[in-house]
């Protein structure tokens, strides 16, 4: 699957010594919480691939596991479509999404310690060239780290940002005789940068005042 993390598992049959290749796709969330129940101040996370690797023998009973190597493929997302000639745009988009699932592979990322014969096998099966192979010394698929950003650990996070009100909108429009936002705009354009500047005091205020403007 495109951009999903998988494990290349090299197996050996103990009866005849023959080697087999298995691909195991990692499901669900990347990090597993194993925090101790008696330490609420402590957060312990383990990468899913490490847990599976530690128990990989249970998935392949009767086989010897010779090696486990994480890898990830990237498929070509550049699908040419003529939107002008499409009879149904929704059907066209749905067909494009289906095609992307089986589009040609353009990149293979694999663990640095993966043997050459494993890389060669994947390269041949995926119809890649050596220039498309990227050996990674470290964690594959860093997008999984976004899960860590959602942990409730305020001491490791920046304090919530309080949007500021643009200088020209800082008067109290609710006061009798106060300047409306349209009066402000007539004096010149107002550039607002969300989310750093207040949406409520700018865009929402514009809509609110426009709704009651005679």
Q: Which residues, 6+ apart, have CB-to-CB distance to 187 below 8 Å?
A: 168
How far apart CA 143 and CA 82 sit, in angstroms, is 32
How far apart CA 149 and CA 161 sit, in angstroms, is 16
| Residues 30, 53 share a domain | yes
Asked whether residue 36 is assigned to any structural domain, the reply reads: yes
Asked whether residue 161 is assigned to any structural domain, the reply reads: no
| Residues 36, 102 share a domain | yes
Determine whether 43 is exposed, middle or buried from the number of CB atoms within 10 Å of its CB (0-12, 13-18, 19+).
Answer: middle
Secondary structure (DSSP) of 152-163: S-GGGSPPPP-P
Domain span at residue 189 reads: 167-212
How far apart CA 125 and CA 118 sit, in angstroms, is 11
How far apart CA 189 and CA 93 sit, in angstroms, is 38
| Residues 174, 150 share a domain | no
| Residues 62, 12 share a domain | yes
Asked whether residue 189 is assigned to any structural domain, the reply reads: yes
Let me know: does 213 contact 182? Beta carbons within 8 Å. Answer: yes
Peptide bond into 188 cis (omega under 30): no
Token pair for 141: 């698929």
- pLDDT by residue for the chain (214 residues), tens only, comes to 788 899 999 999 999 999 999 999 998 788 998 988 888 888 899 999 999 999 999 999 899 999 999 999 998 877 666 555 656 677 777 777 776 666 788 999 999 999 999 999 999 999 999 999 999 999 998 888 888 888 888 888 888 899 999 888 886 544 445 688 898 999 999 999 999 999 999 999 999 999 998 7
| Residues 205, 152 share a domain | no
Q: How many domains is the chain built from?
A: 2
pTM recorded for the entire structure: 0.69
| Residues 150, 51 share a domain | yes
**Could you say which of 156, 175, 200 is where a domain stops?**
156
Q: Which residues, 6+ apart, have CB-to-CB distance to 63 below 8 Å?
A: 11, 12, 13, 14, 20
Asked whether residue 162 is assigned to any structural domain, the reply reads: no
């Amino acid at each position: 699957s495109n951009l999903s993390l998988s494990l290349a598992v090299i197996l050996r049959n103990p009866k005849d010594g023959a080697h087999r290749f298995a691909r195991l796709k990692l499901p669900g969330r990347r990090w597993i919480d194993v925090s101790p129940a008696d330490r609420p101040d402590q957060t312990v996370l383990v990468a899913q691939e490490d847990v599976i690797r530690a128990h990989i023998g249970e998935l392949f009973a009767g086989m010897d596991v010779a090696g486990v190597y994480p890898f990830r493929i990237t498929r070509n997302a550049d699908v040419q479509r003529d939107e002008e000639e499409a009879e149904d745009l929704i059907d066209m988009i749905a067909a494009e999404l289906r095609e992307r699932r089986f589009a040609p592979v353009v990149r293979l990322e694999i663990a640095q310690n993966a043997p050459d014969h494993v890389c060669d096998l994947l390269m041949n099966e995926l119809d890649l060239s050596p220039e498309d192979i990227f050996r990674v010394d470290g964690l594959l698929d860093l997008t999984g780290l976004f899960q860590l950003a959602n942990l409730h650990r305020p001491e490791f996070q920046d304090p919530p940002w309080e949007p500021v009100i643009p200088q020209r909108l800082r008067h109290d429009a609710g006061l009798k005789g106060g300047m409306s936002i349209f009066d402000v705009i007539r004096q010149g354009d107002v550039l607002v940068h969300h989310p750093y500047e207040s949406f409520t005091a700018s865009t929402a205020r514009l809509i609110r005042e426009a709704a009651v403007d005679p």
